[in-house]
Amino acid sequence: MVFCSWGKQTVDNRPLPHEKWQKIENVDIPTSFAGKNILAFMGWNGLLLKEPGIDVVDMTREYLEQTQEFSCGRCVPCRVGTRIMANLVKEIIAGRGKEDDLEKLENLGREIIASSKCEIGKTTPVPVLQALKYFREDFSSVIAGKRTVKQGKYRGYLTAPCLDACPAHLDVPTYVELIKERRFEESLALIRERNALPGVCGRVCVRPCEFQCRRGQVDDPVQIRFLKRFVADYELNHELEVPAPGIPKQADNASAPSAPPVAIVGAGPAGLACAYYLALKGIASTVYEALPTGGGMAGYGIPSYRLPREILGREVEIIEKAGGSIVYNTRIGKDKSFDDLWQDGCKAIFVASGSHESKEMMVDGEKEGYRGFIHGVTFLRDVSLSKEVYKGKKAVIVGGGNVAIDCVRTMLRLGYTDVNLLYRRSRKEMPADAVEIEDAEKEGVKFNFLTLPKRIIAENGKVKAIECLRMELGEPDASGRRRPIPVAGSEFILDTDVIIPAIGQDQDLSFLRHDKGIVITKWETVEVDPDSMMSQKPGVFSGGDCVSGPLTLIAALAAGYDAALGIEQYLQGKPMEIPFQRRMEKFIQAFSVYNKEETVGAVKGLSKSEMAALPVETRIHNFAEVELGFTPQEAVREANRCLRCYRVALLAIAEE
């Protein structure tokens, strides 16, 4: 890289021969964008020059003009100040600049940073000041008439830390701001542009956006998930008509439609999202689901006290009304073969069958078929299907993720009074949502940290106890967490009626194995192009857990959205190329949009809104929803905590 001034790091290789260029740490950008070489990048934290020859004066002009496009215009420093800066640079380029204009630009930039209300104004001048500092001769030579400015080709983009963290890249600051302005329906419409299950996500999303919320460096993050839930609930509670601009319904006397061009395997989040966004594009699809209702693991792996079935059912119904037809109780590979989908006349297939198989604990007695031993995924599915579950009072659940927490909290609601969770690391390393862990503690779950199951003890074919081993933490492993190490001679016995392992899930892709054109990786996932989501077999797409392995609901929704884009292009015979917005979203992740070490210059004073919840003594005896949602006043108050942390980014790309 020729030049880098990004955050606290500055490296200027311009005076040096290439072989003596200094290495730039922790900052890099891809070499190309949409097939064009990347020359430079200007953004919220500085300026990067990938190759020599870029005209920084012209790039500064473009950056300031892009800011005018993105600025909300609600505060004078950003709205007027950046316009004055843009005009000064344009005057310089037009040959009417003066040397003291550079000082004016610097003074204006500092004033805008100090006085703007949102992060567009506070960050836009940063790369401009860097350009004036390190490329002043370039500006001065234009002012002196010694050279003309070479106009470049650029692509601008607006991001934010929360937006960048969200796998679906929802425009969080805008939909939060719409809530602040009480434009609740508009907020929900914006969310639905990228999230097909807003009411579901508003309850169970693992909220990566909140972990990159800069408000959290002042006091507490904005409760983005609850705000999403609020607008979805507002639509439901006010019985508002749901916009469904999908495939027109057939008239009663119309002839039967031809076979839908797309078959989707699995009505989980990825499959539902794909069906929804295809429908919005006018493309019909049929979703084949092995279970009797839609939602996948959201419907059968998340208990109803967290996600009421009527909420999920309503959002599935919205997708069906938009044009996503769902055939239930049909397992591809058993009730219908994969090849049958082609023979039915489908032109493309999206595989989104999810992760419904449980990982093994690898302990003695696990495969003996003891009564009282049941895998976490199976247990939660049986509860959701109202099947009779094993009776008892003592339960042991093994694992540290959200499925394990769902199991222990469900056990309490089934009448178990002594519920233990075993986790081989400490609480600090638990991957489960901290809020869920806290709720489980409040409800009476006993946590046994640094504990590893060793052997299942049974009597007359029935679980009686589990032998465990104490652990201690060593050095970090590949996951970044400290590796658990057994403590010799620390074995102990824990009596129990039921043992539920919930240590992870696997995919069952056996229905694809006969198809030689589809590559199954050693991790039992489908190999796809990350942009188009198409496998190595033309017309077969895949996404969600089938590609990533067990991940999050929001990641699966994002995969379904991406697959719909790829399938649309494939059906139209167009080159497989992701749209500019998605390409920029992926590109920008090469940078750290969020800096957890940053000092945020915001004042405390507006604490987070507290959501009402059922009292512990009531909720542990039933499956009623625990969290009760925000009132409009609470939602607007919470939305007012947003710092509107937008950042403007600009790429300079080669012409050829």
Q: What is the pLDDT of residue 507?
A: 87
Q: What is the pLDDT of residue 185?
A: 96
Tell me the C-alpha distance between 418 and 392, whole Å. 10
**Vertex 76: Cα angle to 155 and 81 (nearest 5):** 55
Average pLDDT of adjacent 10-residue blocks, the chain of 656 residues: 90 88 82 86 93 91 92 81 94 94 95 88 93 95 93 93 96 96 96 96 96 94 98 95 64 49 96 96 94 92 95 95 92 93 94 89 91 94 92 96 96 96 94 94 96 95 96 86 91 96 90 86 92 94 94 95 96 89 88 86 84 95 96 97 93 84
Which of 574, 570, 576, 575 is closest to 347 using CA atoms?
A: 570
Residue 460 lies in a domain: yes
- Residues 490 and 512 placed together within one structural domain of the fold: no
Q: What is the pLDDT of residue 251?
A: 45
Domain stops at, among 475, 505, 535: 505
Tell me the C-alpha distance between 614 and 626, whole Å. 5
Q: What does the chain come to in residues?
A: 656
Residue 27 lies in a domain: yes
- Residues 552 and 515 placed together within one structural domain of the fold: yes
Residue 292 lies in a domain: yes
Q: What is the pLDDT of residue 34?
A: 80
- Residues 119 and 72 placed together within one structural domain of the fold: yes
- Residues 517 and 500 placed together within one structural domain of the fold: no
- Residues 178 and 136 placed together within one structural domain of the fold: no
- Both structure tokens of 441: 């503690």
Residue 544 lies in a domain: yes
Tell me the C-alpha distance between 420 and 449, whole Å. 10
Residue 218 lies in a domain: yes
Which of 92, 263, 82, 273 is closest to 168 using CA atoms?
A: 273
Which of 557, 572, 562 is closest to 532 using CA atoms?
A: 562
Q: What is the pLDDT of residue 609?
A: 94
- Residues 12 and 155 placed together within one structural domain of the fold: yes
- Residues 41 and 97 placed together within one structural domain of the fold: yes
Q: What is the pLDDT of residue 7?
A: 87
Tell me the C-alpha distance between 238 and 201, whole Å. 20
Which of 279, 273, 264 is closest to 348 using CA atoms?
A: 264
Tell me the C-alpha distance between 641 and 636, whole Å. 9
- Residues 630 and 525 placed together within one structural domain of the fold: no
Residue 8 lies in a domain: yes
Tell me the C-alpha distance between 325 and 329, whole Å. 14
Long-range CB contact pairs, 73-77, < 8 A, 24+: 74/117, 74/118, 75/115, 75/116, 75/117, 75/118, 75/121, 77/111, 77/112, 77/115, 77/116, 77/117, 77/121
Residue 587 lies in a domain: no
Domain stops at, among 505, 528, 551: 505
Tell me the C-alpha distance between 461 and 372, whole Å. 9
pTM for the structure as a whole:
0.92
Q: Is 555 exposed, middle or buried (0-12, 13-18, 19+ CB in 10 A)?
A: buried
- Residues 285 and 151 placed together within one structural domain of the fold: no
Q: Specify the DSSP class assigned to residue 360.
A: P
Which of 381, 450, 440, 385 is closest to 408 using CA atoms?
A: 440
CATH number for the domain spanning 105: value is: 1.20.1440.230
- Residues 37 and 147 placed together within one structural domain of the fold: yes
* Number of structural domains in the chain: 4
Tell me the C-alpha distance between 434 and 456, whole Å. 29
- Residues 500 and 534 placed together within one structural domain of the fold: no
Instruction: Phi first, then psi: give them for residue 340, nearest 5 degrees.
Output: -60, -30
Domain of 377, in residue numbers: 358-505
CATH number for the domain spanning 176: value is: 1.10.1060.10
Q: What is the pLDDT of residue 656?
A: 63
Domain stops at, among 505, 529, 563: 505
Residue 596 lies in a domain: no
- Residues 500 and 367 placed together within one structural domain of the fold: yes
CATH number for the domain spanning 267: value is: 3.50.50.60
400 close to 431: Cβ distance less than 8 angstroms? yes
Q: What is the pLDDT of residue 602?
A: 74
